Structure 1
Amino acid sequence: MANLRTFDLNLLLAFDILMRERNVTRAAECMFVTQSAMSHTLHRLRQQLNDPVLIKSPAGMQPTALALALVEPVRSLLQEMERLLEAPQAFDPASSQRRFTIAATDYMEFLILPELSKLIEQSAPGVDIHVKRTESAFPLPQLENGSLDVVLGFASVLNPPAHLHCEHLFTDRMACVVRQDHPRIKAAPSLEDYLAATHMLISRTGDKLGVIDEKLVELGLERRINFIVPHFLSAPLIVAQSNMILSLPYRLAIAFQKLVPLDVLPVPVSLPDYDLAMIWHPLWEKDPAHGWLREQITLIGRNIDASEILL
């Protein structure tokens, strides 16, 4: 019997056709080759299998016992290969029970997930979404092995490897919020007023240094941060009942303003706008289900981006 490492797998298709036709001329016609070429292929099959494969008889070419034993396994293998090489089946969200896993910051959760849940409830009720928090180390292994579908967050912070796909979702900029009846800050704060106030910081790691503080350090300035929380959930409620200033992304500030009485004001520090992005591995680029998920998130991002930043 031939060794798989030395066997020419291209001969399997010829074997299957020869077993169906049991005639070299008809097999050659099926494979669109000459009779001579098909005879040569049969000769190579005999050499690699160390078996006559087909033997002439008064009733025509007859397969050997080995050839008969190989017919069904070879046919099944070719059918499986054909299935694998076919174009992926279209994804039907209405009937799918696919589970997607998303890594995101709580900021992206707050802006993306409510709309995503609405879209899924309407068009893909059987689809499940599992959200994981982004970690300090970029989750490349999880994207490669498929345990994570996409990562959502600040493009500059995530800094993904160049070979990954990174799609812009929307732009944001820093703003600040204070309670509506704040005793000192009634309008856009000056830098002096901003530095004189006490501040609240949202820091998942507990670090007492954010992007604003890094900029202030460059200017030789410092603000007083006397309240640090690890996530966004409690932040608006605390600010609405205190005299602290909370600096955060504008689009999140507007969402908070709908929940509690807050004034949204510009930050008196010059900072660039920043991009929010979706990142995925090219291994899953052609997967129809994966593409559907990305389309939903892209649509939500475009709608967010279309809303003007009024600062």
Structure 2
Amino acid sequence: MSNAGARSSLDLHTLECFDTLVREGSVSRAADRMGMSQSSASEVLARLRDRFSDPLLVRTREGMVPTRRAQDLLPRVRTAIEQLRGLQDGADRFDPLSAQEQFRITTSDYMQLLLMPRLAGIVRTQAPRCTLDIVPIPIQRTELALETAEIDLTIAYHPQPPAGLRRSPLLRDRLVFIARRDHPEMEKGVDAAQFANLPQVSVAPSGLNYFGSLVDSALAAQGLQRRIAFTSPQFMLSAHLVSHSDMVLSLPRLAAIALAELFPVQVIELPFTTRPIDIALYWHERAHHAPAHLWLRDTVRAALPPGTEVMVH
């Protein structure tokens, strides 16, 4: 292949292949993510190696790893991808009043309680022909679901944010706990040891006990361990159980306040300190410059209740 021919191959698709190949460190996985055959992905890699006069990916005992040249090129390639996508998307304009977009969001019922009443109202007013769908995707699948455009946006607490997604901080919350209003143990207050001995409901969306782990870590530092009596994937069901029992539930403060308006429960400060809960927006690179998606992300921020500790992005 001539040098001129190799240079002409650096279009958006080829750059996206470079990004995916280096990120995945596997031709077969990159082919799956790009919706290509393995032979086609191998051909692109061969052209890229010729274009940059470098193997880009080399085989080791741990599998394929990027060369130093590939690592150096990767930030510039990603910048070029953004710029090219911006040129493509720049021709489009999003008019909320006339748009007929279907926005698909996945998030826990915690954030649904907090955001959806206001968000649905804004969308109905500003974009009356658009649809807002809450899609039940397990948090373990959200990165793939965003990459394949199964969903448009994730609103979540990720202790270890996926490296392959765009991320923007949304809000900061902290843990409290709820108990039924006439709970006999709450009249005099409880210390950490008394709290740990109370029967507990634990909420674990998608089977992952992210919030409970913050409580467990804080208690473990004092040599204490909770007594879990019931585990549920949903805050609504958990609050309902708490309101009809002597069990208590640790949860984010904003969710607790919302649930206290629906169930006869009281919101109580934890007798120990836990790490804060940082909620963020996550989306795929392909949606980064899309006008409709820019509007959606801005609208989610506008739907935050007054008094929310908003994170700067």
Quote the residue 2:135 is aligned against: 132
Structure 1: gaps (5+ residues): 9-83
Q: 3-state DSSP class of the match of 1:96?
A: coil
Quote the residue 1:221 is aligned against: 224
Quote the residue 1:201 is aligned against: 202
Whether the 8 Å CA contact 2:89–2:291 is kept in 1: the answer is: no
* CA distance in 2 between partners of 1:221 and 1:291 (Å): 46
Quote the residue 1:89 is aligned against: 92
* CA distance in 1 between partners of 2:178 and 2:213 (Å): 16
- Cα 1:204–1:296 shift into 2, 3 Å: same
* CA distance in 1 between partners of 2:279 and 2:256 (Å): 16
Quote the residue 2:162 is aligned against: 160
Could you give the per-residue CA deviations for residues 162-186 of structure 1, whole angstroms, max 9, x where no partner exists?
Answer: x532111111000001111111212
Q: 3-state DSSP class of the match of 1:139?
A: helix
Could you give the per-residue CA deviations for residues 111-134 of structure 1, whole angstroms, max 9, x where no partner exists?
Answer: 122211111111111111222234
Could you give the per-residue CA deviations for residues 149-204 of structure 1, whole angstroms, max 9, x where no partner exists?
Answer: 111101325x121x532111111000001111111212542113212321111123
Q: 2:264 aligns with which of 261, 264, 284?
A: 261
Whether the 8 Å CA contact 1:170–1:304 is kept in 2: the answer is: no
* CA distance in 2 between partners of 1:205 and 1:283 (Å): 26
Highest CA radius of gyration, 1 or 2? Answer: 1
* CA distance in 2 between partners of 1:85 and 1:166 (Å): 22
TM-score, reference length from structure 2: 0.65
Quote the residue 2:44 is aligned against: none
Cα distance, 1:239 vs structure 2: 1.1
Whether the 8 Å CA contact 1:103–1:133 is kept in 2: the answer is: yes
Whether the 8 Å CA contact 2:119–2:300 is kept in 1: the answer is: yes
TM-score, reference length from structure 1: 0.65
Which residues in structure 2 correspond to 1:287-306 (within 5 Å)?
287-301=290-304, 303=306, 305-306=308-309
The AA in structure 2 aligned to 1:191 is A
Quote the residue 1:50 is aligned against: none
Q: Higher helix proportion, which one?
A: 2
- Cα 1:276–1:91 shift into 2, 3 Å: same
* CA distance in 2 between partners of 1:262 and 1:187 (Å): 17
The AA in structure 1 aligned to 2:162 is P
Give the count of matched residue pairs: 226
Which residues in structure 2 correspond to 1:216-295 (within 5 Å)?
216-295=219-298
Which residues in structure 2 correspond to 1:31-180 (within 5 Å)?
87-157=90-160, 159-161=161-163, 164-180=165-181
* CA distance in 1 between partners of 2:121 and 2:202 (Å): 31
- Cα 1:197–1:115 shift into 2, 3 Å: same
Structure 2: gaps (5+ residues): 9-86
Cα distance, 1:286 vs structure 2: 1.8
The AA in structure 1 aligned to 2:168 is E
Q: 3-state DSSP class of the match of 1:210?
A: helix
* CA distance in 1 between partners of 2:305 and 2:244 (Å): 34
- Cα 1:87–1:270 shift into 2, 3 Å: closer
* Deviates most, 241-250 or 295-304: 295-304
Whether the 8 Å CA contact 1:189–1:266 is kept in 2: the answer is: no
Whether the 8 Å CA contact 1:188–1:266 is kept in 2: the answer is: no
Cα distance, 1:243 vs structure 2: 1.3
The AA in structure 2 aligned to 1:132 is V
Q: 3-state DSSP class of the match of 2:128?
A: coil
* CA distance in 2 between partners of 1:196 and 1:142 (Å): 40
Quote the residue 2:73 is aligned against: none
Q: 3-state DSSP class of the match of 1:178?
A: strand
- Cα 1:277–1:86 shift into 2, 3 Å: closer
Aligned-residue CA RMSD in angstroms?
A: 2.7
Whether the 8 Å CA contact 1:201–1:246 is kept in 2: the answer is: yes
Q: Percent identity?
A: 28
- Cα 1:167–1:86 shift into 2, 3 Å: closer
